[in-house]
C-alpha cells in the first residue's frame, strides 16, 4: 500500500483550507501535520526558505508549496477523480478568475472579521494559534507570548489589506452583498460552475471556511445571513458527493454558452470589489519596475529575497481611498488567466472577451506587469522585461 501524502498547515490557515478541501474532494490519501512539528521545522522550512503554509510532502519526499501549485501538481499527475480544471476554455477562464478573487480578493473581510471582533473571537483564536504554532507541551507563558506576537503581527497585517475604522462598515456591507450573490447562485447549483467543484470553489474555501465560517463572529453571521453558503462550505469539506439540497445532474458543469445570470452577477461583483485594487497594484508595480532598472531577472528585487510585498498602492474603493500591500504573487495568478486566454482559439477568445466585457472585467485579459512573475525555489521572482511594455491604465 502506498504511503499517504503529508499536508503541513494549520486549522485557522486560509490557504491550507483551499488545499485541504481539494485533497478531500479528490479522495487523495493524506494526513495533516502542523507547521509546529519538528519535521516541518527541520526538513521543510530549510527547503522552503520561509515560514509558509500549506506545503505538501509527497510519499517520495518531494515538497510542494503554494496552494495553486499543489492543485496543479495533482492535476498534472492525473490522480484526480473530479478535475478542478474544466475542459471548456470559457469555464477555465472563469475558474482562474475565481482562483484569483477567492484567494486574494476576500482578504479584507477575512481579516476584518477575524481581528476586529475580540469579544466573540479572541479566546477561540488564542486556542487556534497556540494549537497550530506553539511547540507541543509549551508552558502558559510561552503560549501567551506567542499569541501576543501573532496577534500584533496580524492586526498590523490587517491595515495592509485596507482594514481600518474608516473602511469597516463598507467591508461589512460589501461582504454581505457577496454572501447574498453567492447564496442566490447556490440555490440552484451546488458549486460555482455547476455540479462539480472547480478551481474557484477551492480558492473561495480559503477565506470562506478558514476565517469566515470557523471564527465565531463571522461564523454566526454566515449561518444566520447566508446558511446556503455555510452548507456549501460543509459540502466542500466532504469526500463524498452530497445530493441533499440539489438534484444529481448528468452534466457536471454549466453550459459555457449559456451561463447562469447568478454567476455573471458574481463576476460583476469582482469588477466592483477587486478590479480597482488590482489595477492600482499593476500600475504601482510598473512604476516600481521602472525605478528598478538594474533588477536581476530571477530575483524579487528586494533586500530580503523572501519579502512578499513591494510596497503599498492607493486607490478608490467603493467611494473611499484605500492603501493596500502590493503582492506580486497576485500577478502570478492573473497570468494564469491571461495565458489561458492567449491559448484559446479566435472563437473562444471572442466569447471570453464578450463575456468579460459584459461583466466589466475585460481589462483583466490584458493588464500586465512589465515583467512576468515567476516562481523559483518556492519564492516569487520577476522574470525578464517583457518585449512589449504594458499600456498604463489609470484607476
Ligand X SMILES: N[C@@H](CCC(=O)N[C@@H](CS)C(=O)NCC(=O)O)C(=O)O
Residues that bind ligand X (CB under 6 A): 13-15, 51-54, 66-68, 329
Q: How far is the CB of 296 from ligand X (least distance, A)?
A: 23
CA–CA gap between residue 117 and residue 113 (Å, rounded): 6
Instruction: Kindly tell me the sign of the dihedral angle through the C-alpha atoms of 46, 125, 209, 29.
Output: positive
What is the grid cell recorded at 274?
477587486
Smallest gap from Cβ 5 to ligand X, in A, equals 16
CB of 320 to ligand X, least distance (A): 26
Copy the grid coordinates of residue 122: 479572541
Backbone angles phi, psi at 356, to 5 degrees: -65, -30
Q: Which three cell numbers stand for residue 265?
A: 452577477
CB nearer to ligand X: give 207 or 219. 207
Query: In the complex with ligand X, which residue's Cβ is closer, 53 or 179?
Result: 53
Cis peptide before 54 (omega within 30 of 0): yes
- Give whichever of 101 and 356 is closer to ligand X, judged by the CB atom: 101
Q: Which is nearer to ligand X, 45 or 228 (CB)?
A: 45
Q: Which DSSP string corresponds to 357-372?
A: HHTT-GGGGT---SEE
Record the cell numbers describing residue 105, joined without a space. 480578493
Judged by beta carbon, residue 72 or residue 362, the one nearer ligand X is: 72
Cβ atoms of 355 and 259 within 8 Å: the answer is yes
| C-alpha cell read off for 371 | 515583467
Q: Which of 202, 182, 193, 191 is nearest to 253 (CA)?
A: 193
Q: Which residue's CB is nearer to ligand X, number 181 or number 333? A: 333
Amino acid at each position: 500500500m502506498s504511503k499517504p501524502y503529508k499536508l503541513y498547515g494549520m486549522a485557522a490557515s486560509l490557504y491550507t483550507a483551499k488545499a485541504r478541501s481539494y485533497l478531500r474532494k479528490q479522495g487523495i490519501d493524506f494526513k495533516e501535520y502542523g507547521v509546529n512539528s519538528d519535521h516541518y521545522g527541520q526538513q521543510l522550512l530549510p527547503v522552503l526558505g520561509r515560514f509558509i503554509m500549506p506545503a505538501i510532502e509527497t510519499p517520495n519526499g518531494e515538497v510542494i508549496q503554494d496552494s495553486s501549485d499543489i492543485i496543479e501538481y495533482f492535476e498534472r499527475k492525473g490522480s484526480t477523480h473530479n478535475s478542478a480544471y474544466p475542459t471548456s476554455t470559457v469555464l477555465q477562464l472563469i475558474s482562474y478568475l475565481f482562483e484569483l478573487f477567492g484567494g486574494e480578493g476576500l482578504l479584507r473581510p477575512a481579516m476584518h472579521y477575524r481581528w476586529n471582533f475580540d469579544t466573540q473571537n479572541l479566546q477561540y483564536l488564542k486556542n487556534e494559534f497556540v494549537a497550530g504554532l506553539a511547540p507541543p507541551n509549551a508552558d502558559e507563558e510561552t503560549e501567551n507570548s506567542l499569541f501576543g506576537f501573532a496577534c500584533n503581527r496580524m492586526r498590523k497585517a490587517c491595515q495592509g489589506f485596507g482594514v481600518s475604522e474608516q473602511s469597516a462598515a463598507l467591508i461589512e456591507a460589501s461582504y454581505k452583498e457577496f454572501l447574498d450573490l453567492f447564496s442566490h447562485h447556490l440555490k440552484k447549483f451546488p458549486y460555482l460552475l455547476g455540479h462539480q467543484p472547480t478551481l474557484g470553489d477551492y480558492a473561495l474555501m480559503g477565506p470562506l471556511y478558514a476565517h469566515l465560517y470557523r471564527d465565531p463572529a463571522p461564523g454566526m453571521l454566515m449561518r444566520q445571513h447566508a446558511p446556503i453558503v455555510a452548507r456549501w462550505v460543509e459540502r466542500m469539506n466532504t469526500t463524498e458527493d452530497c445530493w441533499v439540497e440539489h438534484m444529481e445532474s448528468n452534466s457536471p458543469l454549466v453550459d459555457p454558452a449559456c451561463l447562469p445570470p447568478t454567476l455573471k452577477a458574481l463576476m460583476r461583483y469582482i469588477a466592483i470589489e477587486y478590479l480597482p485594487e488590482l489595477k492600482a497594484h499593476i500600475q504601482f508595480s510598473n512604476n516600481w519596475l521602472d525605478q528598478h532598472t538594474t533588477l536581476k531577472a530571477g530575483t524579487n528585487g528586494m533586500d530580503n529575497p523572501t519579502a512578499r510585498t513591494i510596497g503599498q498602492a492607493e486607490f478608490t474603493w467603493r467611494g473611499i481611498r484605500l492603501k493596500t500591500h502590493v503582492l506580486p504573487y497576485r500577478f502570478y495568478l492573473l497570468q494564469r488567466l491571461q495565458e489561458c486566454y492567449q491559448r484559446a482559439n479566435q472563437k473562444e477568445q471572442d466569447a471570453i472577451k464578450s463575456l468579460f466585457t459584459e461583466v466589466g472585467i475585460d481589462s483583466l485579459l490584458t493588464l500586465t506587469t512589465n515583467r512576468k512573475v515567476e516562481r523559483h525555489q518556492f519564492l516569487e521572482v520577476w522574470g525578464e522585461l517583457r518585449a512589449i511594455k504594458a499600456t498604463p491604465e489609470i484607476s
